[in-house]
Structure 1
C-alpha cells in the first residue's frame, strides 16, 4: 500500500513533527510512505491514482483549482483521505470545493474568561470532553474507546449531514460569550465520497495532544479505515 503525507501551512501546528509521529505506525502496517511539503502533488493524477491513503496536515494555506480538482477526483476514485485538527479542518479556507469534500470547517476555538487571558495560545486551551455518539460506540474507528477529557483547543466546526459523526464536543454557554445555549460540534467524523473514505479528527493541536492514547488510536484506526479498499 502507498501512503502520501501532505504537510505544510501554518507552522503553529508543527506539521513536520506531528506527521512524523505516525510514520512508524504506517510502516508497521505495510505502507510505503511519500512525503510532500505542499498540495502541489494533488495535481499529479498519476501519483494519486497509485495512492491508497492521503494523510494531510496543511493548516490554512492555499490550493489551486487543478490541485483541489485532482484531490476530489482521487478520493472519488477510492483514495482515502484523513487528517486532524487544522491540518484538515482548517485548510484552504478560500476553496468551497475543498470544504465540500471534507465536510466541515473550523470557525473558532472559544477562549477562557477575559480575566484569565494572558495573550498566548494557552488562552484557547480549555478543558473539554470529547464524547462518542451512539454510532461511534460501534464504529471500527472508535469502538471500545472511552470518552476523553482534553485541555487544548476545542474546535467549533460548521458541517453538514453527509458526515457520519463518531464523537462530539459541546461548547458551554459562558457568561462572557454571546451564545446563549450550549453548542455541540462534531469532533470526529467520517464521510464517503464516491469510492473513497474520509476521516476527520478535530483534536490534535500539538504533538502532546496527538500522544493522548485515545486521540492517537482514533487517528491511527482512521488511517486504516480510510485506506483504499479492494
Structure 2
C-alpha cells in the first residue's frame, strides 16, 4: 500500500485543514495509507520520509527548521513525490532559499483591483483571469484533455527558474493602476524533477470553492498521483 503524508498548517486564511480534507478521500480511494501531520518537523524523521511515497503540503508562510528542510530535500531526491497548491507549496517558508530552490517557483504577489473598487477584504485581490494550458500541458498526463478555464480569484505572480516544466500559465495584463509596463506571464501549473523525485505545483487554490472547481480539482488529483513514487517508479 503506497503511503501519503499530508503536512498542513501555517496561515489559516488558506484553510489548510479543510483544504487537505477535500483531497484525503481521493487518496484513500486510490489505495494510499494517509498520515497527517500539523508540522513540517516530521520531515526530519528519516524513517517516516523513507517510507513515504507522496507528500502533500499545505503550509503557507511559516518557517522550517534546518533538519526538517534537509529531510524533505533528501526524501524528494531519493524518490518521494512532493505536491501541493497555491500558497501551501508556492508561498511556504519564505526565509529558506533552499526550499525555494527545491520547488522552483515562489509567490511574489497577487495584483489587485482598481483601488476605487476595493472594499477592504480579500476580494480586493480577486481578478477574473484565464488559465491556459501550454503545448506541453496539452500532452502531459496531468493536464491532457483539459480545456483552458476562467477563474475569479487570486492570480498568482510567480518568480521561477528554468528547471520547471510549465503545463499551464496565466497572464497579468497592464492596468492603469499598476506600475509594470507590459504583460507578465506566470506559470500556473508546473512539474519539476528533483533527483529521483517528482514535484507538482498548481497555483490556483486560494479558497475551497476554487479547489472544488472541476478543472482545478482534476489537475490537483492527477498531479498528486503523477508525483507519487508509485507512479514515477522511482
| Superposed pair shares fold, TM > 0.5 | yes
Which runs of at least 4 in structure 1 moved beyond 2 Å after TM superposition?
none
Name the residue aligned to 1:198: 199
State the 1:199 CA deviation. Answer: 0.3
Q: CA deviation at 1:3?
A: 0.1
Distance 1:139 1:114 in 2: 39
> Paired residue for 1:22?
23
1:214 is matched with which residue? 215
1:119-138 alignment runs, 5 A limit: 119-138=120-139
Which whole-Å deviations, capped at 9, do the CAs of 1:12-34 have from their partners, x for residues lacking one? 00000000000110011000000
Instruction: Give distance in 1, aligned partners of 2:62 and 2:39.
Output: 9
CA distance in structure 2 between the partners assigned to 1:115 and 1:147 by the alignment = 30
Query: Is 1:154 the counterpart of 2:155 in the alignment?
Result: yes
1:53-89 CA-to-partner distances (Å, cap 9, x unmatched) read 0000000000011111100000000000000000000
Cα RMSD over matched residues?
0.4
Cα deviation code 1:93-112 (max 9, x no counterpart): 00000000000000100000
Residue 21 of structure 1 aligns to a residue whose secondary structure is: helix
Residue equivalent to 1:95 = 96
Q: Name structure 1 gaps, 5 residues minimum.
A: none
Give me the TM-score of the superposition, normalised by structure 1: 0.99
Cα deviation, 1:119-163, whole Å, max 9, x if unaligned, reads 000000000000000000000000000101000000000000000
Name the residue aligned to 1:63.
64
How many residues are matched? 230
Q: Counterpart in 2 of 1:46?
A: 47
The residue that corresponds to 1:167 in the other structure is 168
For 2:108 and 2:180, how far apart are their aligned partners in 1?
14
Paired position in structure 1 for 2:140: 139
Q: What is the Cα deviation at residue 91 of structure 1?
A: 0.1
